[in-house]
Amino acid sequence: MMAATHPGSLQWGRLLLHPWAKAWVFALALLPFGALVWALVFDQLGANPAEALVRSSGDWTLRALCLVLALTPLRVSLGWSGLARFRRMLGLFVYFYAALHLLSYLWFDMGFELADVVRDIAKRPFILVGFAAFVLLTALAVTSHNRLVRWLGGKLWKRLHQTVYLVAGLAVLHFFWMRAGKNDFAEVAVYAALLGTLLGWRLVKFLKKKAF
């Protein structure tokens, strides 16, 4: 509450309600994509451009997911109600970067060869986990439109969109299994801790609500 009434906090809260705020956030969310395109066009992705593109798009998917899940805790803790305006747009950016990640894998790693993709899924379970997360994200992206919200009804729509928590778990598992081959879990631990904190905050709120 103290942070919400601080003059600086109030100023940021008002800035979030600015008519151009959504355009600014959209441009910022698109910057990583622009940087990847620039690096691809000007051959700045290193010795293995395909691996760099797959890895970078996956990293930005996780970062965008963390950002989306952080919106509600920040809104509640700081009193920035304007953050709710960006939830759907940033959620769609999670899907955008996830689609870019999947497309990079299918194109550069697999050459769009379905048989090779099926064999890769059988050989590397983390690919299956990644596909499962993408399918769930697709359902969330498709049902983000206002008409579908009304068609599904608020209660069902809310339950469906709570599967984003499952997506978070699958995303971390996907990353963990991918890094297991290299025995490199430093980044995995960071994302797991961050997402665990964000989901834990929601669990505490839910338990408190049930208690009363």
Could you report the per-residue pLDDT of 172-209, keeping only the tens digit for each? Answer: 999 999 888 778 889 999 999 999 999 999 999 988 88
CA separation for the pair 96, 134 (Å, rounded): 10
Region 55-69: what's the mean pLDDT? 96
pLDDT above 90: residue 65: yes
- Sign of the CA dihedral 138, 142, 146, 152? negative
Residue 8 has pLDDT above 60, yes or no: no
How much is the pTM? 0.90
Question: pLDDT category, 13, cuts 50, 70, 90?
Answer: low
DSSP annotation of 143 reads: T
Return the structure tokens found at 82: 């304007």
Does 9 score more than 90 pLDDT?
no
Confidence of residue 2 (pLDDT cuts 50, 70, 90): very low
pLDDT band at 12 (very low <50, low <70, confident <90, very high): low
What percentage of the chain reaches a pLDDT higher than 90? 59
CA torsion 189-192-193-197 (nearest 10°) is 180
Q: Pull the structure tokens for residue 74.
A: 């920040």
Span 78-103, pLDDT tens digits: 888 888 889 999 999 999 999 999 99
Per-residue pLDDT band for 1 (boundaries 50, 70, 90) equals very low
Task: For the chain, give the mean pLDDT.
Answer: 89
Tell me the residue range of the domain where 63 lies: 2-211
**CA–CA distance from 58 to each of 23, 90, 203 (Å)?**
24, 16, 26
Check pLDDT > 90 for residue 167. yes
Number of domains in the chain: 1
Average pLDDT over residues 36-49: 90
- Amino acid type, 154: G
pLDDT tens, 125-165?
Answer: 899 999 999 999 999 999 988 888 888 888 898 899 999 99
